[in-house]
Chain A
Amino acid sequence: MDTLTLLLDGFASALTPQNLAFCAVGVLLGTFVGVLPGIGPAMAVALLLPLTFGLEPTQSFILFAGIYYGGMYGGSTTSILLNTPGESASVMTAIEGNKMAKKGRAAQALATAAIGSFIAGTIGTLLVAFFTPGLARVAVNIGAPSFFAIMLFSLVLVTAVLGSSKLRGFIGLAIGLTIGLVGLDLSTGQARLTGGVLQLADGIDIVVVAVGIFAIGEAMWIAAHLRRAPLDVIPVGRPFMSREDWSRSWRPWLRGTALGFPFGALPAGGAETPTFMSYVLERKLSRRSDEFGHGAIEGVAGPEAANNASAAGMFVPLLALGLPVTATAAVLLAAMRTYGIVPGPTLMADQPDLVWTLLASLLIGNTLLLAINLPLAPLWAKLLRIPRPQLYAGILFFASLGAYAVNQSAFDVALLLVFGAVGFAVRRFGIPLLPLILGVIIGPLMETKMREALDLSNGAISGLFNEPLAIFVYLLILLALVVPTVLSRVRGPVPHPVSNESEVS
């Protein structure tokens, strides 16, 4: 009850007409900056944070909250409309979202993303408000072995998305994992697959890979086939979500939130793994799994919710332990310090008014974001009425701008074109894009965690099994592998057998 009173006090100090105006400005700015390709929420916050200096802490927080959630949401817009994800957390959104847009369902995709983000952000912020100190304690005990197990689990689930040809699926996965290998080995400093190019030493940014393979590859593909296939105009669908869209969206929203929040709260959890797991999970659970790959609304609703829940979860280690686990959190931490706020275990007890104002601001920012963006969705969707040649010219422009903006290097633009060519080639040979991009996302994450776990145990293999959560997840993997096989023996063949081969990759 105490917490509730404190939160209401927070609302009381955050909810003034002037503050609401600040929040609205923040949401708009955040959305616009977030929509710009290559500028993710971290960048948006870092760019716009100077605007908050010189304001009262309360006003500054509320402006920040608007920018933060606005930036998070803005990334999904380009993913859906232009197939150019602005940051790694919205890569999964592009996969089904852009397919929906092509079928004339851009407005629904944007709406389910906006509402999903709202629900996930709200639930996430409330969880932060009520459970932060306790959660933070639990979270630090979850280490590399458990992460590795969870990722292995998601890799096993990947078999569900390999596509019709297992061989082509595994080729895609192998290409993705190879791209993920590029860069300096973190433990030994050995350069891998860099060819002596210094710019490759930090690895290849996932945004450059995704935009190259999705957007550039597709533009090249379309250009190559223009003569043979006539252009079909993108149909303009209904502006709002139908009853069916709602009923197909609400479960993925909640499941995405449930996946995203814990990962945000874990140190080094990030948003990539939960968005990816949410996508795979929805695809497994959906009764219309055949629709996946052709624009299934569940595939947008789940990952977007996971993305935003993880964004909210980030506040758990930040407020309770003073740990900035993401780039955005690091920027925010620096900002909090300028107000003399030192996050740490005693912050919530020492300066409750500021913490609760911040949390209330986040809830308000989230609500305003929905109020502003939902009506905008049908307007954004009209963008796709632009004739195809001009539309693709625009996509190429935004894709190049995005690749450049990530590190502001011309090298990345060249790299983008290389991945565009790879994207063209995999389309030509019918290699599915999804396993490829998952390999790029999951490979480096999994490697880092495995190396860390093994470093900690000084190389002993037992280091991979020394956390209860890790063992629990391994049991789940075993179940996931064994149960379908047993069931198929009992019931006869099932349409999607889970293959043991997945463990090898």
Chain B
Amino acid sequence: MWRMRRLGRRTTAILASLGVALSLAGCGVTRGDDSRDLLMIIPNSPGGGYDQTGRAAVGVMEDDDITGGSFTVENVIGAGGAAAMTQLIGEAGDEHTLMTVGLGVVGSTYSFASGYGPLDATPVAQLMSEPEGILVPADSPYETVDDFVDAWKADPSSLAIGGGSSPGGPDHLFPMQLADEVGIDPRDVNYVSYDGGGPLTSALLGSKIDVGFSGPAEFLGSVEDGELRMLAVSGEERSPQEAFADVPTLTESGIDLVFLNWRGLLAPPDISEERRDELIGYLEAMHDTPQWQDTLTENGWTDDFTTGDDFEAFLQEQDTRVSTTLTDLGLL
């Protein structure tokens, strides 16, 4: 399997040393006061959800010159984000570093037993949340969530449930929590993990799995074209996207579960109170820009913005939920 390598500052330096002097639009970087510069650590490969969120936030902050300095973005790949988490903890006291974090990273710190969780760092802000979707191939016998849940309850292990994340990730946690909610022992769920949304889609299109659980954005095209059907979304409200307007929420379907994948930002541990507040200030300013609101709409993200202590309380709750689910499954 190919692993995407990280697009770091060092590689950029290699490139620069090649003497590639191309004066094309989009590659100019304005250098300001170094002391205001920040490093953004992305815990996964370029192009993924963490990368999109982190880079979008950086883009808005740079365009509006919110921090007065420039950003360096570094993808630290490994162990589902646990490697980046370990690096962030190692930067304790560094006031010029931020890291994108999310539900998947919380799960990875458990499943990779890396020893450090997001609560060991300094919570800065939650940036967004995103519901998950339940998908079936067009020729599936299930027309509604009820159809699926009834069949699932009748014989839980006979249905192959696919997701685009490894155990501990959002696409794994969601079906497990759903199973728990409808009275199925999560241990009976036959979960097949795929390496991201692409392979998951092809498994659905080829009817290799019965039901897929994943973030809806990647399936927009396939749902619009009628190749896949979305049975439900897991948010509190229906998706704002037109193609999913007819898809009910789980609560509408009588299942009392709201499941949100979320992403936010952490700073290293042991930074000063003032610096934390300053960083929160940057993000509040970013959140108020029209560009950020556009970014949310474009990506179909929900505007779930909390900062500081509220975000910390939220992280605490998420951490407990993840560890409970994984313990129930016997994975910890």
Task: Look across to chain A and name the residue whose beta carbon is closest to the beta carbon of B195.
Answer: A268
Once the chains are docked, how many angstroms separate the CA of A39 from the CA of B15?
Answer: 11
Contact with B along A178-198 (1 / 0, CB 8 A): 000000101111010000001
- Please tell me if A352 contacts chain B, counting CB pairs below 8 Å: no
Given B112, B191, B208, which contacts A201 in the complex, CB threshold below 8 Å? B112
Min Cβ gap B93→A in Å is 22
Is A189's CB under 8 angstroms from B114's CB?
no
- Please tell me if A163 contacts chain B, counting CB pairs below 8 Å: no
Main secondary structure of the interface of B (DSSP, over half): loop
Is A199's CB under 8 angstroms from B83's CB?
yes
Is A201's CB under 8 angstroms from B47's CB?
no
Min Cβ gap B129→A in Å is 21
- Please tell me if B240 contacts chain A, counting CB pairs below 8 Å: no
Task: Look across to chain B and name the residue whose beta carbon is closest to the beta carbon of A138.
Answer: B206
Given B3, B83, B158, B192, which contacts A455 in the complex, CB threshold below 8 Å? B192
Task: Look across to chain A and name the residue whose beta carbon is closest to the beta carbon of B51.
Answer: A334
Min Cβ gap B114→A in Å is 6
Contact with A along B169-199 (1 / 0, CB 8 A): 0000000000000000000001111011011
Q: Chain B residues near A346 (CB, 8 Å)? A: 221, 224-225
Given A187, A270, A331, A444, which contacts B47 in the complex, CB threshold below 8 Å? A331
Given B1, B22, B220, which contacts A342 in the complex, CB threshold below 8 Å? B220
- Please tell me if B18 contacts chain A, counting CB pairs below 8 Å: yes
Min Cβ gap B327→A in Å is 13
Min Cβ gap B281→A in Å is 29
- Please tell me if A324 contacts chain B, counting CB pairs below 8 Å: yes
Min Cβ gap B163→A in Å is 12
Is B221's CB under 8 angstroms from A205's CB?
no
- Please tell me if B35 contacts chain A, counting CB pairs below 8 Å: no
Q: Which of A358-366, A400-408, A492-500 contacts B (4 or more CB under 8 A)?
A: A400-408
Once the chains are docked, how many angstroms separate the CA of A51 from the CA of B18?
Answer: 15
- Please tell me if B24 contacts chain A, counting CB pairs below 8 Å: yes
Once the chains are docked, how many angstroms separate the CA of A333 from the CA of B82?
Answer: 26
Q: Chain A residues near B2 (CB, 8 Å)? A: 40, 42, 88, 270, 326-328
Min Cβ gap B134→A in Å is 18
Is A458's CB under 8 angstroms from B79's CB?
no
Q: Chain B residues near A326 (CB, 8 Å)? A: 2
Is A198's CB under 8 angstroms from B112's CB?
yes
Given A33, A42, A268, which contacts B4 in the complex, CB threshold below 8 Å? A42
Contact with A along B82-125 (1 / 0, CB 8 A): 11001000000000000000000000000111100000000000
Given B46, B83, B203, B222, which contacts A322 in the complex, CB threshold below 8 Å? B222
Q: Chain B residues near A408 (CB, 8 Å)? A: 5-6, 8, 10-11
Once the chains are docked, how many angstroms separate the CA of A40 from the CA of B6?
Answer: 12
- Please tell me if B167 contacts chain A, counting CB pairs below 8 Å: yes
Given contacts A50-B27, A342-B221, contact A330 B192 (CB under 8 A): no
Contact with B along A308-334 (1 / 0, CB 8 A): 000000000100011111111111011
Task: Look across to chain A and name the residue whose beta carbon is closest to the beta carbon of B223.
Answer: A344
Contact with A along B223-234 (1 / 0, CB 8 A): 011010000000
Once the chains are docked, how many angstroms separate the CA of A329 from the CA of B199?
Answer: 12
Given B112, B192, B227, which contacts A456 in the complex, CB threshold below 8 Å? B192
Min Cβ gap B116→A in Å is 10
- Please tell me if A36 contacts chain B, counting CB pairs below 8 Å: yes
Given A143, A187, A191, A270, which contacts B208 in the complex, CB threshold below 8 Å? A143
Is A455's CB under 8 angstroms from B190's CB?
yes
Q: Chain A residues near B195 (CB, 8 Å)? A: 268
Q: Chain A residues near B220 (CB, 8 Å)? A: 342
Task: Look across to chain B and name the residue whose beta carbon is closest to the beta carbon of A343.
Answer: B221
Given B15, B18, B114, B157, which contacts A198 in the complex, CB threshold below 8 Å? B114
Once the chains are docked, how many angstroms separate the CA of A186 from the CA of B113?
Answer: 14
Given contacts A140-B202, A184-B112, A327-B45, contact A201 B79 (CB under 8 A): yes
- Please tell me if B209 contacts chain A, counting CB pairs below 8 Å: yes
- Please tell me if B151 contacts chain A, counting CB pairs below 8 Å: no
Min Cβ gap A138→B in Å is 10
- Please tell me if B313 contacts chain A, counting CB pairs below 8 Å: no
Given B12, B205, B224, B331, which contacts A188 in the complex, CB threshold below 8 Å? B331
Is A198's CB under 8 angstroms from B83's CB?
yes
Is A51's CB under 8 angstroms from B221's CB?
no
Given contacts A43-B11, A201-B78, A201-B79, contact A344 B221 (CB under 8 A): yes
Once the chains are docked, how many angstroms separate the CA of A74 from the CA of B3?
Answer: 19
Task: Look across to chain B and name the residue whose beta carbon is closest to the beta carbon of A63.
Answer: B24
Min Cβ gap B306→A in Å is 28
Contact with A along B13-34 (1 / 0, CB 8 A): 0110010101011110000000
Once the chains are docked, how many angstroms separate the CA of A191 from the CA of B143?
Answer: 40
Contact with A along B114-145 (1 / 0, CB 8 A): 10000000000000000000000000000000
Is A189's CB under 8 angstroms from B5's CB?
no
Task: Look across to chain A and name the residue whose beta carbon is closest to the beta carbon of B20.
Answer: A29
Given contacts A188-B167, A189-B168, contact A36 B14 (CB under 8 A): yes
Given B5, B14, B157, B193, which contacts A407 in the complex, CB threshold below 8 Å? B5
- Please tell me if B239 contacts chain A, counting CB pairs below 8 Å: no
Once the chains are docked, how many angstroms separate the CA of A88 from the CA of B203?
Answer: 25
- Please tell me if B271 contacts chain A, counting CB pairs below 8 Å: no
Contact with B along A335-348 (1 / 0, CB 8 A): 00000001111100
Min Cβ gap B209→A in Å is 7
Q: Chain A residues near B86 (CB, 8 Å)? A: 198
12 additional contacts (CB under 8 A) given A46-B4, A144-B208: A47-B7, A143-B206, A187-B193, A202-B78, A202-B79, A205-B3, A267-B203, A317-B202, A321-B205, A321-B222, A407-B6, A456-B208
Q: Could you jot down 8 A-B contacts, CB within 8 Å?
A: A47-B7, A50-B26, A51-B22, A51-B26, A55-B24, A88-B2, A345-B222, A445-B1
8 cross-chain pairs, A with B, having the tightest CB-CB distances, nearest first: A344-B221, A54-B25, A267-B202, A140-B206, A53-B26, A327-B4, A140-B205, A201-B79
Residues of A within 8 A of B (CB): 25, 29, 32-33, 36, 38-40, 42-43, 46-47, 50-51, 53-55, 88, 139-144, 184, 186-189, 191, 198-199, 201-202, 205, 267-268, 270, 317, 321-331, 333-334, 342-346, 405-408, 444-445, 448, 452, 455-456, 458
Residues of B within 8 A of A (CB): 1-8, 10-12, 14-15, 18, 20, 22, 24-27, 45-47, 77-79, 82-83, 86, 111-114, 157-158, 160, 166-168, 190-193, 195-196, 198-199, 201-203, 205-206, 208-209, 220-222, 224-225, 227, 331
